Structure 1
């Protein structure tokens, strides 16, 4: 009888371990974010607010479309520096915020910092730039050209981004 109890106990323990691992994987925060995004996109599609702007889609756009249809997946892309980023796994819908800085080219990390491969909120946001002073011209992107622009809206940047000004 004892010879049967040990294999049964080990089998039960193995089944419980696999079930716990599957449950832990299914409860990842990024999957909840994608589910919420999917709900919002379905509501907007019903209301006619979402329009496809281009017939040609990039691989990133196809992944985002799959996520919008409810398929939970890690959205990873390479920026122009060849670095992989996973920010859009949780931040779906942000890919079209700036036409001058397309996510597929610029990425997110160049301006915003953070851990480009992490999928855990705390780890992904470690090193995140939370101040506009350190982005745009304050880092390395526009420092050389922003100060030479005389347009009033751009000049207002210098009220906070004093490190961009020549004066």
Structure 2
């Protein structure tokens, strides 16, 4: 059996708003995210992980921020597109592991809903999706509350 591993990373600054999108879930927060799409750092990192495993570049290549079609776009659509690229190339997602890096909002209360949304968009069992949060102990831009980041890894296997 053939396998490929990909990793992804994304970051967005906080701005005006009353929520953030994380893992396909609307999470109440005192700020929003500055982004061309909905700014979902978790899903953007997942997309980059899948695209990296497929050696197809990054999310900006497929959904450039200069293209007005993607203005305020739902990032779940991006994930479904990346899944379709994998399917078309004869690969399927085995699992995804994502980490949100932020002091706030807290991820734990929303992690299960994020796992379910990601699993649904990838067509895999929720048990194959991990979403967790961590802080930087008040260090760096995330520690100062200036933004949020996420990283993800995925494993692809050649479809039978």
Q: What TM-score comes out, normalization by structure 2 length? A: 0.24
Larger Rg: 1
More helix, by proportion: 1
